[in-house]
């Protein structure tokens, strides 16, 4: 067994654990920039996973998808988010409605829940249970981040984490979607982040804060 094959097998076997670790750290993170870095790391773990699959399956399309993930999710989107954070000149606090310990407890509960949720499917479909659970955990975690964090930028990051979950789910159940569709999804995502960035600026200019819990009335 060559060294590269060994690394590919290890990347596949332990990527679920690394994804869980990034989720728990996101729950504990107090600053928006930390969350952006963690999102970038999370996407890098996914890219490693795809590279492992591409090596095992000898598929050229998978290499292209991995390259897309690295350029869009690991570099471009975090860079754009960092620019937004810098230009907003707002405070870095995520302003969570749960305390740090509560968030980590809830995140731990979501991870366990996702294991119980996928157990029947993993057996009948003969899939990797850990990775499927990681996909469901990413979905739940993204939704949790969106509802519990009050800063408008954290809703964007929550949505991106949720999207990562859908991506991992597609990867584990069908070994990824066709390349054309992947490209479409990435383009969509990039446009989405730009639009949401614009929205965040509009919210800041109209309301002079980014706290979505205070957005109760319509304003012109």
Partner 1 sequence: MNLAINLIQALLLIAIAPLVSGIIARSKAQMQNRRGASLWRPYAELLKLFRKQDLVPDTASALFRFAPVILFAATATAAAFVPVLHPSALFDVSGDIILFVYLLAIGRFFLMLGAMDGGSSFGGLGASREALVSALAEAPLLLALISVAILSHTVSLSGIVLATVRQDPLHLSAVYAFALGALVLVAIAETGRIPVDNPSTHLELTMIHEAMVLEYSGPSLALIEWASAMKLTLILALLTGIFAPWGMATNASIAALFLAPLVFAVKLALLAAVIAVIESSIAKLRIYLIPDFLGMASALAILAVAFTALMR
Structure tokens at 182: 């992947």
Using CA atoms, how far residue 15 sits from 41, 48, 128, 138, 218, in Å, is 12, 8, 11, 13, 44
C-beta closer to partner 1: residue 61 or 108 = 108
Site membership for partner 1, residue 4 (CB under 8 A): no
Angle at the Cα of 76 (from 171 to 130), degrees rounded to 5? 25
Site membership for partner 1, residue 104 (CB under 8 A): yes
Distance in angstroms (rounded) separating the CA atoms of residues 36 and 196? 15
Tell me the per-residue interface mask from 71 to 100 with partner 1, x by CB under 8 A, - otherwise. ----------------------------xx
Region near partner 1 per CB under 8 A, out of 31-39, 107-115, 166-174, 206-214:
107-115
Site membership for partner 1, residue 44 (CB under 8 A): no
C-beta closer to partner 1: residue 104 or 190 = 104
C-beta closer to partner 1: residue 16 or 196 = 16
Q: Where are the alpha helices (DSSP H) in the chain?
A: 3-28, 32-57, 60-69, 77-88, 100-125, 129-148, 152-174, 179-207
Tell me the per-residue interface mask from 14 to 43 with partner 1, x by CB under 8 A, - otherwise. x-xx--xx--x---x---------------
């Amino acid at each position: 067994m060559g060294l590269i094959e060994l690394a590919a097998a290890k990347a596949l076997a332990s990527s679920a654990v690394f994804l869980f670790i990034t989720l728990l750290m996101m729950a504990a993170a107090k600053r928006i920039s930390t969350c952006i870095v963690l999102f970038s790391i999370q996407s890098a773990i996914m890219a490693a996973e795809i590279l492992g699959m591409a090596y095992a399956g000898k598929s050229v399309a998978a290499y292209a998808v991995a390259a897309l993930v690295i350029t869009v999710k690991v570099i471009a989107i975090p860079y754009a988010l960092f620019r937004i954070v810098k230009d907003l000149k707002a405070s870095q606090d995520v302003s969570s409605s749960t305390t740090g310990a509560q968030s980590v407890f809830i995140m731990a509960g979501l991870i366990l829940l996702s294991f119980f949720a996928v157990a029947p499917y993993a057996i009948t479909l003969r899939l990797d249970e850990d990775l499927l659970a990681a996909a469901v955990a990413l979905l739940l975690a993204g939704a949790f981040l969106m509802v519990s964090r009050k800063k408008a930028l954290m809703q964007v990051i929550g949505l991106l984490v949720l999207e990562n979950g859908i991506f991992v789910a597609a990867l584990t159940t069908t070994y990824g979607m066709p390349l054309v569709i992947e490209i479409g999804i990435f383009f969509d995502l990039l446009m989405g982040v730009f639009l949401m960035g614009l929205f965040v600026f509009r919210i800041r200019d109209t309301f002079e804060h980014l706290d979505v819990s205070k957005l109760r009335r319509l304003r012109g």
